[in-house]
Chain A
Amino acid sequence: MTSQSLTPAPGRDIAPGSGPWQLARRELRRRVSVKVSLAIVAVFLLMAAGAPLLSALGGRSPDEFDKSAVDPYLGGQPVGPLGGISADHWLGVEPVTGRDLFARVVHGAQVSLLIALTATAIVVVAGTAAGIAAGYFGGRTDAVLSRLMDLTMSFPSLIFMIAMMSVAKDVNRIVLMTAVIGLFGWPGIARVVRGQTLSLKHREYVDAARVGGAGSWRILTRDILPGVAGPVIAYTTLIIPGMIATEAALSYLGVGVRPPTPSWGQMIAESVSYYDTDPMYFVIPSACLFLTVLAFTLLGDALRDILDPRGSRT
């Protein structure tokens, strides 16, 4: 994986003057795994973004009970094969309540991805800022920030997230969850960026800028930031699956978003008690979760091979 290089295969003509981003894009386009995973990611992102529209198209809202779709004499089992999949309910219905699974999965995608992506954004911005500051300014700044990174990393994060989520009662669950997940994620990326910044800050072009009279801010944003962008992008894509999984795990444990707001983890938790009688109810949200995590992982792998071939993680 890491031995892939930026140089194109011999015999391929690269127009002179192709920038590094152009080269990267060209390399990405050659990979099948990238195409497939991009397609999956795009489908789920569209699903999340257009959730109200899609569920309107399916004709059901995620909280609408449909007693006609479940059989009261069979303990509320969905009517029909495969968990009640029909023209009316595209992915079947929830047992007992008869809520439409398609609408719930689509709205669940919105909640799950919103939390995961926002938390990732927080982590990346905070981590990059901390990493650049620690690496570039060194000295006391570095000492304090590095201590803080070590401290955050020695927190038992899942235990802590569960504790914090269950303590706060009357807060917007989505905002809280984003903040809590983001809180423990930043040291990883900060370390990567710090290492990269350390290796960049005494390169000739940075020294030249300094001699030319550029201020710290200008050097940081114009010279250092573009230099760390590659690893940051690769790392970002690689932490998204972890964020999605964490959100799902917290919701699964019942400390995430509150019903009736659907989220994949919560749907899986509810479906566990029906795994025997209505396996489709369990399979559908699990498959969504699996596919999203898988697609982001594959995409992240490819991006890392191309943008960060030496592997700046230690």
Chain B
Amino acid sequence: MILYTLRRLAGVIGVLIAVAAVTFTIFYVLPSDPAAAACGKACSTERLTAIRAHMGLDQPLWRQFWDFLSGIFTGRTMGSGQYALRCDFPCLGYSYENSESVWGLLMDRLPVSASLALGAAVLWLALGLSAGVVAALRKDTLTDRVLMVGAVGAASLPVYFTSMMLIYGIIRVAGLLPYPQYVSFADDPAHWASNLLLPWLALAILYAAMYARQSRSSMIETMAEPYIRTARAKGLPRRTVVVKHGLRSGMTPILTLFGMDLGGLLAGAVITESIFGLPGIGRLFYNALSTGDQPVILGVTLLAAAFIVVANLVVDLLYAVVDPRVRL
């Protein structure tokens, strides 16, 4: 188990380096020159060269990449002489736009994205799994049909459509909530929740629909297993059969899905954050794109990849706990 975890952790680092390398390469072919942008219109050649040197853009690509990678682990000094800027561990560089440290920017935005993703996850798990399990246990009844028609419909709605409908219906027409404005949980938990309610719902509707479909088919498969029949034949009450024997293995495939989705959303809810004006990582990324702010783009991509691989690792470890058949 420990050996397995260590091996996987090494794999995680490998994947992250690969992601960083690919992102780096993509943005190397980027035609725009950030040094020229920083220099402004009245720019002399000497000044441009100086700025390029300060940003490290005069180095060969592999050197820039190496500096970037080693900077993450040890921190580094950017530029030299009087303009030298110390960037401490974990150094992801400084934004070209406002010279803030990328790590600092990410950590500022993370609570917003985490609030959005985790809150939505709680909602969609509750809604999706209960709908899926109920539908599976009442397979081919009216309840099942209604739930599944609803699920396939909701899964076909793009998240921006649901979001707009929620904004229109609940904010504009009914006037039940004000337009969302992020308040941190520590400041005011009640406001935090009421402002995030609509974004949570928008995401949860989509994911709950997908989870309902998945958990239904997985649960149906499990309930047809011979060991379920055995449990029933032993005379166990139906409740025990479903909860203790059925749910446990019926829900394990959902775990994989959940890890990927949650990991993806923590730094990737670009659309939802834009629509509801939440200052999260997705928004940061979107803004950085329009200004060509490469360090921020690279930072967000790396963080997003880190969330995904770490989530997958956690899921695989959890598997061993949940499913006794899995030996690591």
Using a CB–CB cutoff of 8 Å, the interface residues on chain A facing chain B are 1-3, 150-151, 154-160, 162-164, 166-167, 169, 241, 245, 248-249, 252-253, 255, 265, 268-269, 272, 275-276, 282, 286, 289-290, 293-294, 297-298, 301, 311, 314
The 6 closest A-B pairs by CB, nearest first: A156-B304, A294-B156, A293-B156, A154-B309, A166-B289, A1-B217
Using a CB–CB cutoff of 8 Å, the interface residues on chain B facing chain A are 15, 18-19, 22-23, 26-27, 29-31, 139, 152-153, 155-158, 160-161, 164, 168, 172, 216-217, 220-221, 224, 253, 264, 267-268, 270-271, 274, 285-286, 289-290, 297, 300-301, 304-305, 307-309, 312
Which residues of A lie under 8 Å from residue B308 when comparing CB positions? 154-156
CB-based contact B268/A290 at 8 Å = no
CB-based contact A154/B155 at 8 Å = no
State how many angstroms separate the Cβ of B310 from the closest Cβ of chain A.
Answer: 10
Provide the bound-state CA to CA distance between A1 and B31, in Å.
51
| Interface contacts beyond A1-B217, A159-B285, A162-B270: sample of 14 additional A-B pairs, CB < 8 Å, sorted by A | A3-B220, A154-B305, A154-B309, A158-B270, A160-B23, A162-B289, A163-B27, A166-B290, A265-B158, A275-B164, A286-B158, A289-B158, A289-B161, A314-B253
CB-based contact B217/A311 at 8 Å = yes
A-B contact number at CB 8 A = 109
CB-based contact B164/A252 at 8 Å = no
- What are 20 A-B contacts with C-beta separation under 8 Å? A2-B221, A151-B15, A154-B305, A155-B308, A160-B301, A163-B23, A164-B26, A167-B30, A241-B156, A252-B271, A253-B271, A268-B158, A268-B160, A275-B168, A289-B161, A290-B156, A290-B158, A294-B152, A294-B153, A297-B155
CB-based contact A1/B220 at 8 Å = yes
CB-based contact B286/A253 at 8 Å = yes
Provide the bound-state CA to CA distance between A124 and B64, in Å.
37
- Given contacts A1-B217, A163-B23, A163-B297, are A156 and B264 in contact (CB under 8 A)? yes
Provide the bound-state CA to CA distance between A265 and B159, in Å.
12
Interface centre among B15, B156, B286 (most CB of A within 10 A): B156
Provide the bound-state CA to CA distance between A235 and B305, in Å.
26
CB-based contact B297/A2 at 8 Å = no
Which residues of B lie under 8 Å from residue A166 when comparing CB positions? 289-290
CB-based contact A268/B168 at 8 Å = no
State how many angstroms separate the Cβ of B103 from the closest Cβ of chain A.
Answer: 18
Which residues of B lie under 8 Å from residue A290 when comparing CB positions? 156-158, 161
State how many angstroms separate the Cβ of A155 from the closest Cβ of chain B.
Answer: 6
